[in-house]
Chains A and B, each alone.
Chain A
Amino acid sequence: MGKLFWGWVVWFLFLFALDFTIPFIGFKHVPKVTGSFLFWILWIVVAIASMFLIFFRWRENHDNNEGDHP
């Protein structure tokens, strides 16, 4: 596992840390849709975009189709 793998691991740990802390601390006194509700939507959009960035790089390799059944 290279630097890229660990880089993404750190990034997602950071995202999970935000997930558990920002709404509980940062938006504790914001009783509006623009508080935690909007935060979690934007948070998941960033997370989904990050996942797309990771798997867009994957490519077909026919050696990996070993075990295919006709």
Chain B
Amino acid sequence: MSQGLFVWSAIAIYIALGIAVAVMARRKLGSGINDFFLGNRQIGGFVSALTYAATTYSAFMMVGLAGLTYKLGVGALGFELTYLCGLVLVVFFGPRFWLVGRRFDYLTHAELLADRYQRRAVGIVAALLCLVFLIPYAAIQVMGIGYLLAGVSKGAIPLLGAMVLAILVALVWSNIAGLRSVAWTDALQAVIMLLASLAALGFLAYRGFGGFGNFLLKMDEEIPQLLAGPGLFKFNVFFGLALPWLFFSVSNPQVTQRLFIPKSVTAFKQMIGGFLVFGFIYTLVSVLWGFGARLLVPALDKADKATPALLALPIIPKAIAIIVMVGILAAAISTIDSILLTLSSMCARDIYKNGINLRASEEMELRVGKAVIPILAIIFFVFAYWAAGKKGLAFMIAPLSAAASAGLLMGVPAIIGAFFWRRATAAGALSSMVGGAILVLALQVSGTKPLGLWPGVWGLMVCTALYVFVSLCTRPPVQKAKEFLQYLHEALAKGNFV
């Protein structure tokens, strides 16, 4: 069987399995916007954990993180584990999101902010912030799929065809049953991602080095420069990459929306616990994969080619290479469809219902949400197509991902303050999000790093200062703050939450 046919067959099986799962999920689909976008807040712990993992971990892991490890060494492990440790924010904030989501019926974190600060503009700006910065992030996933499939199939699948395929699959899966089909296909994809990467690592270690012990010894002997301290990471690069990732769990709406979906406290605990175990294993596998590539194919011109180059080696059986490719495809598509769904819910609720048409019925709101999904998919595709044509951008997956996360970081002070600071105001939230986003965009576009610090670091400092200063100069929504925080105080105590 030719390589192209082999790849196409694997993709066909993967898509057919996903459609079957999505159609099964549709049987549970009820009516209404909460059902479509939140699974009626009734998702079990196992599926919640896997959809959280599949949404969080994208093509970045086995391509971008492996590439970073290949190029800069062990610091890549540190910065990705810093993100995983950032999940402590979910341990602190997750129950708060979950509780107020049920109490006040929030659909998105932007709606939570608009209600808490008692100004619709806060929700609209928060939603726009997510749109601006998540579109490039989603487009990177599409682009990553294009390069991966074109590379592994040795050109049998063209770049453009691979990108169209990715968008279509994400579109179909998110439309079949909304969050339910996305969550269920995510669960399937998370299993594929983990098993495929573990199998590949096993082959790499045993056929490439004769076992894990020898693999680690080889690392000591041949690439000590990548193991000393943080490897070749400079502190400002490490900090600049780690900081946006640290706050990822409370800044990215496709992730915060998942804090609304577990059906019970037990399901919530299973979601966090399951994700932590998944994240630990998947991070370790991706980093070891990068080190393996450095030892076996040391002279690549671009670090992000490490995974395709490793998969092309004879030590990795063709079937395993194809399964890994499907695993990476799954990682990317599960992120794209989750972003599609979350952004469309924000367009429907925060921009349309709370901004343009206050009297819109739930049915109308849902119709708008569904109509936005294909529009966003086209925008993702156009952006990916444009970026793929630019020399230099094509293989900058890690920095581009970090840049998108840096922009979303500007919503963090307003989110944290909503739960803790009675004195916080809408003006403070608005100025911090707008001011921070403008600064980050300006620094990103100009490529400026004052004092060597990355845009996200500057943006976070400035937007926090703006949030505090402007809040202190303006009047807070006393009544709402009291109701919101009082409810949380009592509910947190009853559930023994910290």
Give me 7 other A-B pairs in contact (C-beta within 8 A), A8-B88, A19-B82, A23-B230 excluded: A8-B92, A58-B497, A60-B495, A64-B265, A65-B102, A67-B102, A69-B35
| Whole-angstrom CA separation of A30 from B230 in the bound complex | 10
The residue of chain B having its C-beta at the shortest distance from the C-beta of A55 within the complex is B269
Q: Which residues of chain A are within 8 angstroms of B242 by Cβ–Cβ distance?
A: 20
A-B contact pairs, 19 of them (CB 8 A): A16-B82, A33-B219, A35-B74, A48-B280, A55-B91, A55-B269, A56-B269, A59-B265, A60-B495, A61-B495, A63-B491, A64-B102, A66-B103, A67-B101, A67-B102, A67-B103, A69-B34, A69-B35, A69-B41
Say whether A35 contacts B276, CB under 8 Å. no
Chain B residue contacts of A40, Cβ below 8 A: 74, 77-78, 81
> Does B87 have its Cβ within 8 Å of any Cβ on chain A?
yes
**Within 8 Å CB of A12, what residues of B?**
85, 88
Report which of A16, A60, A66 forms a contact with B266, defined as CB distance below 8 A.
Answer: A60
Contact call A58/B95, Cβ cutoff below 8 A = yes
A44 to B278, CA, bound (A): 13
B371 at the interface (CB under 8 A from A): no
User: At the interface, yes or no: B399 with Cβ under 8 Å from chain A?
Assistant: no
Task: Assess whether B229 is in contact with A23, with CB atoms less than 8 Å apart.
Answer: yes
The interface residues of chain B lying within 8 Å CB-to-CB of A1 are 420, 498
Tell whether B494 is near chain A: CB-to-CB under 8 Å: yes
Contact with B along A1-18 (1 / 0, CB 8 A): 100110011001001100
B contacts, CB < 8 Å to A: 32, 34-35, 40-42, 74-75, 77-78, 81-82, 84-85, 87-88, 91-92, 95, 99, 101-105, 216, 219-220, 224-225, 227-231, 235, 238-239, 242, 246, 264-266, 268-269, 272-273, 276-277, 280, 284, 420, 491, 494-498
In chain A, residues 37-63, which have Cβ atoms closer than 8 Å to a Cβ of chain B?
37, 40-41, 43-45, 47-48, 50-52, 54-61, 63
Contacts of A9 in B (CB 8 A): 92
Contact A36 B41, beta carbon cutoff 8 Å: no
- B220: chain A residues at CB < 8 Å are 31-33
Contact residues in A for B277 (Cβ distance below 8 Å): 48
Q: Is A55's CB under 8 angstroms from B216's CB? A: no
Please name the residue on chain A nearest to B224 by beta carbon.
Answer: A31
- Considering the complex, give the chain B residue whose CB is closest to the CB of A6: B498
B498 and A5 form a contact (CB under 8 A): yes
A51: B residues at CB distance < 8 A: 87-88, 91, 272, 276
B235: contacting residue among A24, A37, A63, A68, CB under 8 A: A24
Q: Say whether, besides A19-B85, A32-B220, A65-B264, A55 and B273 are in contact (CB < 8 Å).
A: yes
User: B496: which A residues are within 8 A, CB to CB?
Assistant: 57-59
A19 to B104, CA, bound (A): 38
In the bound complex, what is the Cα–Cα distance between A58 and B264 (angstroms)? 11
Contacting residue for B81 out of A8, A24, A44, A64, CB 8 A = A44
Whole-angstrom distance from the CB of B412 to the nearest CB of chain A? 15
Contacts known (A16-B85, A59-B496, A60-B265); A35 close to B228, Cβ less than 8 A = yes
Taking the nearest CB of chain A, how far is it from the CB of B276, in angstroms?
5
Identity of the chain A residue whose Cβ is nearest the Cβ of B490 in the assembled complex: A63
Do B75 and A23 touch (CB < 8 A)?
A: yes
Which of A5, A44, A61, A69 is B494 in contact with, Cβ under 8 Å?
A61
Q: Residue A64 contacts which of B105, B238, B491 (CB distance < 8 angstroms)?
A: B491
Q: Is the CB of B229 within 8 A of A24?
A: yes
CB-defined contacts of B84 to chain A, threshold 8 Å? 44, 47-48
Chain A residues whose C-beta falls within 8 Å of the C-beta of B75 in the assembled complex: 23, 36
How far apart are A10's CB and chain B's nearest CB, in angstroms?
Answer: 12
Please give me the residue from chain B that is nearest to A47 by CB atom: B85
A66 contacts which of B95, B102, B265 (Cβ < 8 Å)? B102
A8 to B289, CA, bound (A): 34
Given contacts A58-B268, A64-B494, A65-B102, contact A30 B228 (CB under 8 A): yes
User: Separation in Å of the B274 CB from the closest CB of chain A?
Assistant: 11
B228 with A58: CB separation less than 8 A? no
With the chains together, A65 CA to B283 CA distance in Å?
A: 34
CA distance A48 to B35 in the complex (A): 32
User: Are B498 and A8 touching (Cβ within 8 A)?
Assistant: yes
The CA of A61 and the CA of B268, in the complex, are separated in Å by 13
Interface pair B85/A61, CB less than 8 Å apart: no
User: How far, in Å, is A39 (CB) from chain B's closest CB?
Assistant: 9
A61:B491 contact, CB within 8 angstroms: yes
* Residue contact B264 to A60, C-beta cutoff 8 Å: yes
Query: Which residues of B lie under 8 Å from residue A19 when comparing CB positions?
Result: 78, 81-82, 85
Q: Are A47 and B268 in contact (CB under 8 A)?
A: no
In the complex, are the beta carbons of B227 and A33 less than 8 A apart?
A: yes
| Nearest opposing residue in chain A for B85, CB measure | A47
Which residues on the A side are within 8 Å of B88 (C-beta)?
8, 12, 47, 50-51
> Which A-chain residue is minimally distant from B94 (CB atoms)?
A55
Q: How far is the CB of A54 from chain B (nearest CB, A)?
A: 5
* Across-interface contacts of A63 in B (CB, < 8 A): 491, 494
